[in-house]
Amino acid sequence: MNTQEFLEKIEVELKISKNSEHTIKNYVQANKDLLNFLNKEPEKVTEDDVKKYLSKISNRASSSIILFLAAIRYSFSNILKKDPTSGIKRPKRERKLPTVLSKQEIRKLLNSIENKKTKLMMAMLYACGFRVSELINLKIEDLDFNEKIGHVRQGKGKKDRMFNISSFLFKPLKSQIEQQKQNNQEFLFTGPKGKLTDRNIQKLLKKATEKAEVKKNVHPHTLRHSFATHLLEDGTDIRLIQELLGHADLSTTQLYAHVSSEQIKKIKSPIDTL
């Protein structure tokens, strides 16, 4: 079996298993990079070969190496019934604290946006704790104004979850829906070329961040991080935050317990009580 045949089989297996396009792309690319580096047929790849490639990419982040090893293990185990990574120790995942905006910075950012649709999209990323993919895949039918809730369909990990529609969003959301219905659109947000992409949202947010003169490194996920952190600061139970974010594991949500600067400020040093 040559490299191209192997890569095609990987793609088929991943699609059958209902993996996301993002996962399919990453897994196929990881295997392609390995095989191109080794210049070997897939059947002849050994554990030592994988280690050689790992030494080449050793300067990458732990998360990147973990993803690479997962891609190789999945592909070789499913296609060739062998695992050339079985004896390789996985690096520990780095736990970096995410960038978080203060409530004042969020307000400043939203107030800097003049376009109503752009402002609504950024407000929803923060107000609902959305991932970008969840925002751009949101459909008009997913919103229930009578119950004041919405539904994320098939989010990360193919899980559905509910979110609250805040009072702040009611009026602009209804206006956006009316406009989309007039244009016979299925999705809540679209652009001139149809469905929006992650890149569209990133560009809009970058422009807004610069205009608002927010000096932090802001990405769409920063608004999600800020949503979780501000809920924690306001006293929301961490298990409820886990549910709102759609985290499968509470340990992922607990990262925000280490981010909340407002909670840290409230802690008195024991020297002040002497």
For every one of its 274 residues, what pLDDT tens digit does the chain have, with 9 covering 90 and above? Answer: 899 999 999 999 999 988 878 889 999 999 999 999 999 999 999 999 999 999 999 888 888 899 999 999 999 999 999 999 999 988 877 667 778 899 999 999 999 999 999 999 999 999 999 999 899 999 999 999 998 889 988 655 556 788 888 888 999 999 999 999 999 999 999 998 888 988 999 999 999 999 999 999 999 999 999 998 888 888 888 888 888 888 877 777 777 666 665 655 665 666 565 5
* Whether the Cβ atoms of residue 127 and residue 244 lie closer than 8 Å to each other: no
Q: For this structure, is 131 an active site residue?
A: yes
Ranges for all domains in the chain classified under CATH 1.10.443.10 = 103-262
Catalytic residue among 221, 225, 230, 258: 221
User: Which is the catalytic residue, given 32, 103, 156, 211?
Assistant: 156
Strands 149-152 and 194-195: unpaired
Per annotation, catalytic residue among 119, 224, 225, 230: 224
The class level of CATH for 103-262 reads mainly alpha
Let me know if 161 is a catalytic residue.
no
Query: Is 221 designated active site?
Result: yes
Match 């107030």 to its residue by tokens.
111
Neighbours of 196 (CB within 10 A): 19
Q: Which of 247, 258, 265, 266 is catalytic?
A: 247
Catalytic residue from among 119, 131, 225, 230 = 131
What is each CA distance from 151 to 140, 207, 246, in whole angstroms? Answer: 10, 29, 11
224 is a catalytic site residue: yes
Domain with CATH 1.10.150.130 in the chain: 3-79
In one-letter notation, the amino acid at residue 98 is P
Amino acid making up residue 197: T
Task: Give pLDDT, residue 63.
Answer: 82
DSSP letter, residue 139: B
> Is pTM beyond 0.75 here?
no
Rounded Cα gap, residues 201 and 222, in angstroms: 13
CATH superfamily of 3-79: Tyrosine recombinase, N-terminal domain (1.10.150.130)
